[in-house]
């Protein structure tokens, strides 16, 4: 599949997640047996259209696996274990959390990534975005400096991805900062700073439209 994706996306720097360049953005996590989460996700259907994000699902959180991840990967800090599923196949936006995020690919998918340290005056050119093909069953820890957003599907069946974050991340803010300046203009949810592409739904809903260049699609 990866070879076909490269051929169909000649303008995108698309690499396997095992490529050495991924070390700038994160690492592959192999210390755990993720089978319980993968089996739970078999019971959760991809929506007919659009994407669905659930920050915390007890079927994933209330498990021995989650307890182990909390203790060993997150230094005993409280975590939420949820998922992102859907049919997205375009960049649309980039976000960062300032804390690592664990993504477990339940299906094959592509992550579009960039480095938050390349942001200038709340803007980033999408030519700096790289794509990484992540096979089903692979878990990746994305560093706090890594810009990312929802995965992109690589088949008509859509994508499924388990998402582990510090507890409370992506919950609604009580209020957005008033007279925001600088990085505050990107704050979108608790622990979430977002830069949207002007053509995207987040931008239409008020997110800061700081992505310039193409709203990158992933073709399959």
Inside any domain, residue 207: no
- Give, in order, the Cα–Cα distances in Å from 84 to each of 4, 7, 44, 79: 24, 27, 11, 16
pLDDT score of 63: 98
- Give, in order, the Cα–Cα distances in Å from 213 to each of 15, 50, 128, 199, 206: 21, 23, 10, 11, 19
- What's the predicted TM-score (pTM) here? 0.96
Of 108, 18, 47, 187, the C-alpha closest to 195 is 187
Inside any domain, residue 74: yes
- Give, in order, the Cα–Cα distances in Å from 43 to each of 36, 40, 87, 107, 161: 12, 6, 17, 13, 13
Q: What's the mean pLDDT in 180-185?
A: 93
Residue 105's domain spans which residues? 2-92+99-169
pLDDT score of 214: 97
Among positive and negative, which fits the CA dihedral 205, 207, 209, 213?
negative
Residue 20's pLDDT band (cuts 50, 70, 90): very high
Inside any domain, residue 37: yes
Q: How far apart (Å, rounded) are the C-alpha atoms in residues 57 and 136?
A: 20
For the chain, the domain total comes to 1
* E strand spans, 60-158: 79-86, 93-96, 101-105, 109-115, 124-125, 130-134, 139-142, 146-147
Inside any domain, residue 52: yes
Q: How far apart (Å, rounded) are the C-alpha atoms in residues 191 and 97?
A: 5
- On the question of pLDDT at 28 being above 80, the answer is yes
Q: How far apart (Å, rounded) are the C-alpha atoms in residues 125 and 119?
A: 8
- On the question of pLDDT at 8 being above 80, the answer is yes
φ/ψ of residue 102, rounded to 5: -100, 125
Residue 178's pLDDT band (cuts 50, 70, 90): confident
Residue 10's pLDDT band (cuts 50, 70, 90): very high
For the chain, what is the mean pLDDT?
97
Inside any domain, residue 57: yes
- On the question of pLDDT at 175 being above 90, the answer is no
- In this predicted model, what pLDDT tens digit does every residue of 52-97 receive, in sequence order? 999 999 999 999 999 999 999 999 999 999 999 999 999 999 999 9
pLDDT score of 201: 95
Q: What's the mean pLDDT in 10-39?
A: 97
Q: What is the DSSP string of 159-200?
A: EEEEEEEETTTTPPPSSPPTT--GGGGGEEETTEEEEE-TTS
Residue 183's pLDDT band (cuts 50, 70, 90): very high
Inside any domain, residue 138: yes
Q: Which two tokens stand for residue 203?
A: 């931008």
- In this predicted model, what pLDDT tens digit does every residue of 103-149 receive, in sequence order? 999 999 999 999 999 999 999 999 999 999 999 999 999 999 999 99
pLDDT score of 176: 77
pLDDT score of 177: 76
Q: What is the CATH number of the domain that holds 70?
A: 2.60.120.10
Q: Which two tokens stand for residue 212?
A: 């310039």
């Amino acid at each position: 599949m990866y070879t076909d994706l490269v051929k169909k996306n000649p303008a995108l720097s698309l690499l396997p997640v095992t490529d050495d360049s991924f070390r700038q953005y994160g690492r592959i996590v192999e210390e755990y047996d993720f089978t319980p989460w993968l089996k739970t996700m078999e019971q959760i259907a991809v929506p007919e259209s659009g994407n669905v994000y659930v920050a915390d699902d007890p079927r994933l959180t209330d498990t021995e696996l989650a307890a182990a991840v909390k203790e060993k990967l997150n230094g005993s800090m409280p975590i939420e274990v949820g998922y992102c599923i859907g049919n997205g196949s375009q960049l649309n936006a980039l976000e960062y959390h300032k804390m690592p995020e664990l993504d477990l690919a339940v299906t094959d998918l592509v992550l579009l990534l960039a480095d938050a340290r390349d942001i200038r005056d709340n803007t980033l050119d999408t030519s700096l975005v790289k794509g990484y093909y992540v096979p089903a069953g692979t878990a990746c820890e994305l560093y706090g400096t890594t810009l990312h957003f929802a995965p992109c599907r690589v088949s008509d069946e859509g994508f499924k991805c388990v998402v582990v974050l510090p507890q409370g991340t992506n919950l609604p803010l009580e209020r957005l900062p008033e007279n925001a300046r600088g990085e505050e203009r990107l704050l979108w949810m608790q622990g979430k700073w977002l830069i949207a592409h002007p053509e995207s739904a987040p931008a239409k809903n008020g997110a800061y439209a700081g992505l310039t260049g193409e709203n990158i699609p992933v073709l399959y």
